[in-house]
Amino acid sequence: MLIEKDIVILGGGIAGLWLLNRLRNAGYAAVLLERAALGTGQSIASQGMIHGGMKYALSGALTGAAQSIANMPQHWQACLQGKGDVDLRGTNLLSDAYYMLPRQSVRSRLNAFFGSKAVRGKIDAVETEDLPAFFKGHLNGPLYRLHDIVLDVPSLLTTLANTAKNHIYQINWDNTRINHSADGTVQSIALPNGIELRAQRFISTCGEGTEALLQILRPAKVAMQIRPLQMVVVKHKLPHSLHVHCVSDQLTATPELTVTTHPCKDGAKAWYLGGELAESGASLGKDAQVQRSKSKLAELFPWCDFSTASWHSFYINRAEAKQADGKRPDNVSVHSVGNVLYCWPTKLTLAPNMANTVLDALKAQAVLPLQLSDAPLPGLEFPGIAVSPWDAMTDETQGGSSA
């Protein structure tokens, strides 16, 4: 059975779902294919931070990354209110503010101070009487409030999926064939249920899974890199939530620790640990990373009792367009070869920018909606939503063991 669509998106993370919403709102007959639950991999492993670049300006200079991301919190806030290019009403907002905590050293405070000057108007020093409950009575130095937000990623995935649920499908790539020409053009995708799917454009937003597509199509001058992390989850019953960047003593654009707090289905809270801790921990074993995390939290927050906490770590790769220096790209990456667009948003925050870039590319290539049938694909199921890392923790991590 031959079915034609305007656009076929490969990959059901936040970037792919956001793009699907934008394309369908623009009148394209667009569908999304995903091999696993929506958000599996990078998206569900995200801390949910929608930030304006402060973490990239700690040296006092506005880097390309900081500039490209500067207006993203306002963009997402409008969408949360139903006033943006994608309707995110119903997504759970975990925090409407983020904090930056310098260490007691002069260098750390200077890093935070210069960063605050670089993004003037997007950060405020917190007065003692306005300190969040978590910090009251425990701080001897400054705390800064960022105009950033934190979203609950599972609810974000659900909100994005619900608006186009009849056009999102799970497929088994092991039984799927991509028919293509030598120049990397996709002629069709032959699905296991006998459907041959054709489209004006095929768009890859499948993160690390893009590597398999690159191996099949071998497009000229398109390559991917991965930057590994080892993230840590700490489940506990501390009363207060924490959303904070802890600024390093080193002159670096990466906070030494980034903490977000997430509600668990069992009633506990989870601190989710990223930043430099996760980056440098990618080369460590799980036991070593958990022990390092315990020491870091004891050092930074000595008033907290983690004696009954549960600890878990896991590895995750960030997938990006390949850079000559191997560092993080400053902005989104969209490469067009034949009728395929290879897309990497670089950061969750930049998913709207990626969609804008794709729509601009389609316009430049005169790819317009053809008024094709928008009927659902028969015989394919909705993938469901991925389980968060804190709700996927196993019993072996309970009772404060080291994972």
Pairing of strands 340-344, 333-337: antiparallel
Average pLDDT (309-320) is 97
Average pLDDT (131-143) is 92
Neighbours of 316 (CB within 10 A): 18
The per-residue pLDDT for 330 is: 85
Residue with tokens 């489940």: 235
Average pLDDT (246-263) is 84
What structural domains does the chain harbor? 2-43+157-224+322-364 (3.50.50.60)
Per-residue pLDDT of 23-39, as tens digits, reads: 999 999 999 999 999 99
Pairing of strands 98-102, 244-247: parallel
Of 65 and 74, the structure prediction assigns the larger pLDDT to 74
Average pLDDT (366-386) is 95
Per-residue pLDDT of 69-99, as tens digits, reads: 778 899 999 999 999 999 999 999 999 999 9
The per-residue pLDDT for 253 is: 65
The per-residue pLDDT for 120 is: 43
The proportion of the chain whose per-residue pLDDT surpasses 90, expressed as a percent, equals: 78
> At CB < 8 A and 24+ separation, what contacts does 398-403 make?
398/310, 399/308, 399/310, 400/306, 400/307, 400/308, 400/309, 400/310, 400/311, 401/310, 401/311, 402/286, 402/287, 402/290, 402/291, 402/311, 403/286, 403/287, 403/289, 403/290, 403/311, 403/312, 403/313
Pairing of strands 257-263, 340-344: unpaired
Q: Is residue 4 over pLDDT 80? A: yes
d(CA 57, CA 331): 15
The per-residue pLDDT for 67 is: 57
d(CA 117, CA 136): 25
Distance from the Cα of residue 339 to its chain's centroid: 26
Say which range, 121-135, 348-362, 366-380, has the weakest mean pLDDT. 121-135
Say which range, 60-69, 255-264, 358-367, 381-390, has the weakest mean pLDDT. 60-69
**Burial category of 206 from C-beta neighbours within 10 Å (exposed 0-12, middle 13-18, buried 19 and up):** buried
The per-residue pLDDT for 58 is: 43
d(CA 323, CA 327): 6
Q: Where are the alpha helices (DSSP H) in 81-130?
A: 106-118
d(CA 316, CA 293): 17
pTM of the model: 0.91
Contact call for residues 229 and 316 (beta carbons, < 8 A): yes
Helix axis angle, 14-25 to 153-162, nearest 10°: 30
